[in-house]
Amino acid sequence: MNKNCIRFELTDLIKLFYYYLFEKKPKRNFLSKFVEVPWENHNFKLQTLVAISTEFTHHVSIPNWSILISEIIGCWPNNQNIVNHPKAINFLFKPKNLFELFVEKKSQNKYFESYNLTYVPVFNYYIGTLDSLSLDGFEKKKIAIGKIEGSVDPNEAAIKIIKSFLKKEEMTGNSRNLLEIKKNEIFEQKKLHDCLYRNSSLKKI
């Protein structure tokens, strides 16, 4: 899969985020046009496309984005009147790296994992994404791992998204052990500890 070959129209971005954030079922012909992401599982394909598309939003004009959402989607659920957190602007259409880990999974395979957070305006949601690359370079994936409303402080949003993701991974037999923290520029040590260890499956060895 070569993400650089994928071309996202602005209308594509709106639909992808809408389907993911509000848990709407995408139309089959919409997902099928992204042949560069050949996954048959629609949920996994949507998660992958959403994660990749966050890297193609830096050029988006917010006024155009807002107008097109109104034209394409009309009204959407619940959170239109929720005010975004003041710090959300720092993550506006710009995936920000939270930290990078070196982990070992139950299969004993080792992976580099990069966790990121992006804020999607108008829809008013954060999206957490994960870039994963196996040590041998053969396994590579990029997926959306969770979402939370934009009224939350971004640090707290990241903690909730990642803890929830790690817990789900544990429940499906995909827990991992932490070998090394490769990079951390966002969190204070206590916040990082809360994010990675408390009530999650991650264990340091």
What are the tens digits of pLDDT across the range 143-175? 999 999 999 999 999 999 999 999 999 888 888
- Determine what percent of the chain is predicted with pLDDT higher than 90: 51
Same structural domain for residues 137 and 183?
yes
Spatial distance between the Cα atoms of 97 and 134, rounded to a whole number of angstroms: 18
DSSP 46-83: HHHHHHHHGGG-TT--HHHHHHHHHHHT-S-SSGGGPP
- State pTM to two decimals: 0.90
Cβ burial, residue 149 (10 Å; 0-12/13-18/19+):
middle
Query: For 70, left (φ over 0), alpha (ψ -120 to 50), or beta?
Result: alpha
What are the tens digits of pLDDT across the range 33-64? 888 887 788 899 999 999 999 988 878 888 99
Same structural domain for residues 73 and 57?
yes
Same structural domain for residues 92 and 163?
yes
Single out the residue in 80, 100, 123 at which a domain terminates.
80
Domain extent at residue 65? 3-80
Same structural domain for residues 64 and 117?
no
What are the tens digits of pLDDT across the range 63-98? 999 899 988 887 655 555 668 899 999 999 988 999
Spatial distance between the Cα atoms of 60 and 188, rounded to a whole number of angstroms: 31
Domains held by the chain: number: 2
Spatial distance between the Cα atoms of 108 and 76, rounded to a whole number of angstroms: 44
- Please determine, for residue 189, whether its predicted confidence score (pLDDT) is greater than 90: no
Same structural domain for residues 159 and 108?
yes
